[in-house]
Amino acid sequence: MFAIQVEYLTGRAVATNRESRSEAEWPPHPQRLFAALVAAYHECDLGDDVRAALKWLESLLPPALVVSEAAQRVCPETYVPVNDNNTQFVHNRKKHTIKYTTAIDSGIALGRDRKERYFPTVVPHDPLVQFVWNDADDNAVAQHQNALEKVTEAVAYLGHSTSLVRLSVTNKPRPVTLRTVSESSKPSKRDVRLRGVTSGRLETLERAYKQSVETFRRQEAPDSPWHRYRWIRDEPASTFAAVNAFGGESDWFVFQRKSGTVLPIQACLALTTSVRKTLCSVCEDPLPSLLSGHGEDQGPLERTHVAFVPLANVGYQYSDSEIHGFAIVLPNEASTTEKHQSRRQLAMALGKMQQVWKNPSEAVGENAALAFDWKVEAVTASERLKALQPQRYLRRSKYWASMTPMVFGHYLRKIDDRRTFKIVADSCEASGLPRPVGIRVSTTSMVSDMPQSYVFPSLSSAGKPVWVRYRNGKHLIPRKLSDGSTVRMRYHIALEFEEPVSGPVIVGAGRHYGMGLCVPINDMKEKR
């Protein structure tokens, strides 16, 4: 087994789809990769060992691919001056020569006429692509590895000359996402057909190049057979489907406020941290790790544990953006025994949880709204208000938007660059969700009447809440804290998935405190 890794250095791929000049080719076809290797072999005169490696490579079965989805850019028509050739030739049929009267005529005769041109481009979610040959014999791989490394290092671009790449050979490829399927298998609507490579392809490309030189016109080599590929996530759900990290309605324990200070949605972190503190104080010892969020060594639990989410009246026509209660949500990842133990201790604690508060001393000099004293009670499904219904967060939808901003675990240079989108996509995967095909990051939520993200508190790099301060009517939050930790950034997000996903959608570094809680919305394109 081995793989050739392609890294798109500019974060974009420029290559024309053979079936439509205005559309970009994605995923990259194995035939395009092989042509780039052959071109590098001849341009750099790399020797017989590389030729032998290419002959061996074309004899292998079609490779599988490790490739992400990509966003297509708009491809406008452009007009480019022809590359004029000042050399004049005398045309004579017997002598097989040609003479051009002007420089412009010479450029047109070489096939560069004055037609519109297209530069179709895609922006992949992950700039790394791997072509994986799982069937390759290990002894043959060892024999040709040095030659393959030599030729891959000589490849500078894949597709258009602006599509800069860095190629390398690896013996430890990542799990494949696109693999060949039999032509006789039942077709899927998301199958893709890619041009492959067969034995003799090297000579075919060399012959086409020789004809181009002799005729002064570019001669395209005929295509090799096309192969049908299938995305692995399109396999049966029992094998490949993601499992939401947080549980369904039976795993939601809902409380409502009976009396106490009304809290706006931006006080959500003050509420959820107080709920967690109260729950830990009323539960019996030993406290299960799923409830405490700590492992046996008292360090942070590496897997998903209980989440505390605010339940607010937001996103409706007459919403007041006030928190009416909260929910304690058990994770989906827990084993049956572990979840049963947590349910038992949680059920015993629910009867004791009658009050949730935050001391006024904790809010002095910062935000007076942080101080509250709630009388709460658990409510059954038949007693819940509309704002307290978990079904809203558990529906299936392709489009989701954050009610509370997502807390980022990494520093963001820009909120609309590829790295930021990758962080959001990775956070979705960490919550058991598929990678979204559309991502929007902003200070403004797509849920109506929601405050800006900078009005909400955040978490420090040590996992502690950091409250927003007010000075001269402005919202301020420190960059660094007295204990040396830094404050994590938080922004509203909107997500678009390829297929509808079931909630809850809670993503980001603060998901266990209800930050990054999303609700379904209508089509994101209509909301922009």
Contacts of 142 (CB under 8 A, 6+ apart): none
The reply to whether 107 and 198 lie within a common domain is: no
Specify whether the CB–CB gap between 334 and 342 falls below 8 A: yes
The reply to whether 426 and 314 lie within a common domain is: yes
Domain for residue 135, yes or no? yes
Whole-angstrom distance, CA of residue 220 vs CA of residue 222: 6
How much helix, strand and coil, in percent to the nearest 5, is found in the chain?
30, 25, 45
Domain for residue 108, yes or no? yes
Domain for residue 302, yes or no? yes
- Intra-chain end-to-end CA distance of the chain, in Å: 46
Contacts of 239 (CB under 8 A, 6+ apart): none
Rounded to two decimals, the pTM is 0.53
Tell me the residue range of the domain where 344 lies: 249-527
The reply to whether 162 and 268 lie within a common domain is: no
Six-digit token string for 418: 């590829």
The reply to whether 318 and 350 lie within a common domain is: yes
Domain for residue 318, yes or no? yes
Six-digit token string for 175: 């799990």
Please report where in the chains the tokens 């069937």 appear, as a residue.
Answer: 135
The reply to whether 68 and 99 lie within a common domain is: no
The reply to whether 55 and 183 lie within a common domain is: yes
The reply to whether 261 and 196 lie within a common domain is: no
Please report where in the chains the tokens 């058990």 appear, as a residue.
Answer: 330
Domain for residue 182, yes or no? yes
Specify whether the CB–CB gap between 58 and 199 falls below 8 A: yes
The reply to whether 300 and 434 lie within a common domain is: yes
Structurally, the chain folds into a number of domains equal to: 3
The residue type of 89 is F
Whole-angstrom distance, CA of residue 21 vs CA of residue 308: 51
CATH code, domain carrying 186 = 3.30.70
Whole-angstrom distance, CA of residue 396 vs CA of residue 500: 6
- Report which of 102, 32, 113 is spatially closest to residue 65, judged by C-alpha positions: 32
The reply to whether 255 and 151 lie within a common domain is: no
The reply to whether 175 and 289 lie within a common domain is: no
Specify whether the CB–CB gap between 491 and 405 falls below 8 A: yes
With H, G, I as helix, E, B as strand and everything else as coil, classify residue 122.
strand
The reply to whether 293 and 192 lie within a common domain is: no
Domain for residue 244, yes or no? no
The tens-digit pLDDT sequence of the chain (528 residues) is 899 999 999 888 999 887 777 788 999 999 999 999 999 999 999 999 999 999 999 999 999 999 988 877 666 677 766 655 555 445 555 555 555 545 445 455 555 556 777 778 888 888 899 999 988 999 999 999 999 999 999 999 999 999 999 999 999 888 899 999 887 777 877 789 999 999 999 999 999 999 888 888 878 888 888 999 998 854 433 333 346 788 888 788 888 888 888 888 988 998 998 888 888 887 777 666 667 666 666 666 666 788 899 999 887 777 788 898 999 888 876 555 666 666 677 777 777 778 887 765 554 444 555 678 888 888 877 677 778 888 889 888 899 999 999 999 888 888 888 889 999 999 999 888 999 999 999 999 988 888 899 889 899 888 888 887 766 656 667 667 777 788 899 999 999 998 889 889 999 999 999 999 999 986 444 343
The reply to whether 141 and 275 lie within a common domain is: no
